[in-house]
């Protein structure tokens, strides 16, 4: 936190103010829930993932808030991924840390809106973030091999990219934690990040920026499909959802009439709430 505050103070000293705070710290821990539970070292990867994606960026945001509030303007831009909408098999801690950061920012946006401070979450494809940052692969358990369990295929996808360069190639291991930085051709890297850079420059400092911005057609299509599925599930079970409102209404009516479950209200029960009636 101290280093974050020092960085903000230095920026203010040099530029006089902070217009845009860009939070883009990232790395990918690859491993299923069970693979990240086998040893103390793999368990620590869960904590490390939250330190990188969640706590490091939260600390920078907290350090910048006094300055942004004092100048009564500013824009906080957080670079995550569509993992904020869609869980990825084989990257559960990445998904959890991303959702934690986005939930934090959703609440923050309401808190600082009166100070004219905007918050935008920018979501490129997960591959863009993963292939342009550090990748950590936990030891693989045999029952999560793609030939047996195709769900966590992200390990194979990233390994195929890493194996294109002898310096980053990975051999499957059931004991070793592997750390790799993808080495992509400059042209591929440029194409990979170009859309995200365009989104950041178009949105950063905008007078009325979106709360969330999805980068690219593929990402937008994937999120739309996920939201469609959520909506369909809600409609399928909407009757069960609203049924509890009937129970609540009946219970309140009984309480008002001095009855609970067709029994007279005991004098000592006066002042009980609905939960107490149900427990009586």
Average pLDDT, the chain: 86
pLDDT at residue 265, as a whole number: 47
Pick the CATH number of 2-224 from 1.20.210.10, 3.50.50.60, 1.10.540.10, 3.40.50.720: 3.40.50.720
User: With 90 as the cut, is the pLDDT of residue 95 above it?
Assistant: yes
Residue that is written with structure tokens 């294109």 in the block: 164
The predicted-structure confidence for 201-232, as pLDDT tens digits, reads as follows 888 888 899 999 999 888 889 899 999 999 99
CB 26 within 8 A of CB 53: yes
pLDDT score at 255: 60
The pLDDT value given to residue 150: 81
* Predicted confidence band of residue 148 (pLDDT cuts 50, 70, 90): confident
- Between CA 70 and CA 1, with CA 25 as vertex, the angle to 5 degrees is 50
Paired residues of 259 in beta bridges: 264
Q: Where are the beta strands (DSSP E) in the chain?
A: 20-23, 27-30, 74-79, 117-123, 134-137, 178-180, 212-214, 259-260, 263-264
Percent pLDDT > 90 in the chain is 52
Supply the pLDDT for residue 274: 42
Instruction: For 56-79, give the DSSP string.
Output: HHHHHHHHHHHHHHHHT-EEEEEE
Q: Is the pLDDT of residue 145 over 90?
A: no
What CA–CA distance (Å, rounded) separates 124 from 26?
13
Its pTM stands at: 0.81
CATH 3.40.50.720: which residues of the chain? Answer: 2-224
Contact 105, 119 (CB under 8 A): yes
Which letter does DSSP use for residue 16 in this model?
S
Using the 8-state DSSP alphabet, how is residue 115 labeled?
G
Task: Spell out the residues 6+ positions from residue 2 whose beta carbon is closer than 8 angstroms to its own.
Answer: none
The model's pLDDT over 27-74, given as tens digits with 9 standing for 90+, comes to: 999 999 999 999 999 999 999 999 999 999 999 999 999 999 999 999
Give the three-class secondary structure for 152. Answer: coil
């Amino acid at each position: 936190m101290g280093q974050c505050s020092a960085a903000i103070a230095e920026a203010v000293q040099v530029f006089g103010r902070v217009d845009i705070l860009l939070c883009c710290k990232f790395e990918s821990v690859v491993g299923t829930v069970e693979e990240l539970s086998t040893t103390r070292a793999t368990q620590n990867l869960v904590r490390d993932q939250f330190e990188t994606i969640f706590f490091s960026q939260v600390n920078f945001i907290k350090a910048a808030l006094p300055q942004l509030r004092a100048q009564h303007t500013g824009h906080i831009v957080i670079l995550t991924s569509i993992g904020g909408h869609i869980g990825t098999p084989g990257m559960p801690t990445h998904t959890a840390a991303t959702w934690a950061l986005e939930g934090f920012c959703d609440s923050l946006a309401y808190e600082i809106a009166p100070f004219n401070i905007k918050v935008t979450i920018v979501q490129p494809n997960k591959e863009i973030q993963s292939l342009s940052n550090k990748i950590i692969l936990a030891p693989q358990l045999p029952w999560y091999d793609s030939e047996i369990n195709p769900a966590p295929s992200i390990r194979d996808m990233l390994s195929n990219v890493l194996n294109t360069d002898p310096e980053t190639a990975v051999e499957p291991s059931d004991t070793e934690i592997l750390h790799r930085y993808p080495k992509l051709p400059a042209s591929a890297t440029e194409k990979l990040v170009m859309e995200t850079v365009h989104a950041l420059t178009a949105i950063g400092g905008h007078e009325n920026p979106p709360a969330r911005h999805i980068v690219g057609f593929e990402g937008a299509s994937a999120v739309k499909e996920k939201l469609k599925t959520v909506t369909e599930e809600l409609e399928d079970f909407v009757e069960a959802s609203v049924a509890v409102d009937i129970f609540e209404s009946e219970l309140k009516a009984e309480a008002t009439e001095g009855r609970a479950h067709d029994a007279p209200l005991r004098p000592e029960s006066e002042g009980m709430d609905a939960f107490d009636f149900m427990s009586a």
